[in-house]
Amino acid sequence: MRGGTLALLVPWIIAHGYAIFFLAALIEGSLVSTAAGVAAALGFFNVFIIIFISICGDVFADVFYYWIGHRSSNVLNSKFFRYIGVTEEKILKVKDLLHTHVNKSLLLIKLSPFMGPPGLLIVGAVHVPFRKFFKSILIISIIKAFFFVLLGYFSGVAYLQLSKVIANAQSVITIVAIILVVYFLYRKISADITKGIQ
């Protein structure tokens, strides 16, 4: 996650609101959820609504890819999968793995940056039972949403606290500087007066 991207996303999400956040969460859930968490810490959104929308966006996108894979009987024979080296033998291995270790497989697919959509298409294409798929995806999405939104939220809270500390430190430094200036002026004026009297 690049800080510059996050810095651009926070004001963009603040400017566009919950609906656009949902649409963005369909495409890139983790980064957008972190940015929305920061916006919630700054007081622009309710953090619980952000978590809920993040979960919904993630689950909706996953179900969409599963559905495309499930409905397309020849998706595994497409040029795209052949181009990336998905052979009939590999498909059988993946199918066996998905049916025996569905939770671990989906966790791997969801946490791998480049496996998301293609992996979910394969999950649908090998006809993993929807109930199993949905239950696993929902749990993973809830954990992901809480993690990334709260990461952004607590980063925003830390930023606000640091800003207050810096503002307070600046105030203390300003007050100490004024006291020192007044003290040295007083010393100089009283020294000049004492010399004048003598």
Give the domain range for residue 20: 3-162
Q: Which two structure tokens, joined as six digits, stand for 193? A: 């007066």
Mean pLDDT across the stretch 77-94? 68
The reported pLDDT for the residue numbered 77 is: 65
Within-domain flag for 198: no
The Cα-based distances of 137 to 63, 95, 110 in angstroms read 9, 17, 8
Phi and psi, residue 46, nearest 5°: -90, 125
Residue 125 lies in a domain: yes
Q: Which of 86, 57, 67 lies closest to 128, judged by CA?
A: 67
Is residue 180 one of the residues assigned to a domain? no
- Any domain includes 136: yes
State the pLDDT at residue 1.
45
Please give the share of the chain, as a percent, with pLDDT higher than 70.
72
Q: Is residue 91 part of a domain?
A: yes
pLDDT per position as a tens digit, 143-178: 989 998 888 888 887 776 766 666 666 666 777 677
Q: Using one digit for the tens of pLDDT, what is the confidence trace for 102-123?
A: 788 888 877 776 677 777 878 8
Q: Ramachandran region of residue 109, left (φ > 0), alpha (ψ -120 to 50) or beta?
A: alpha
- On the question of pLDDT at 92 being above 80, the answer is no
Is 169 within the bounds of a domain? no
Enumerate residues 6+ apart whose C-beta is below 8 A from 69.
75, 120, 121, 122, 123, 124, 125
In a domain, 176, yes or no: no
Q: What is the pLDDT of residues 18-27, one digit of tens each?
A: 888 888 888 8
Q: What total number of domains does the chain contain?
A: 1
The closest of 68, 30, 52, 58 to 151, measured between CA atoms, is 30
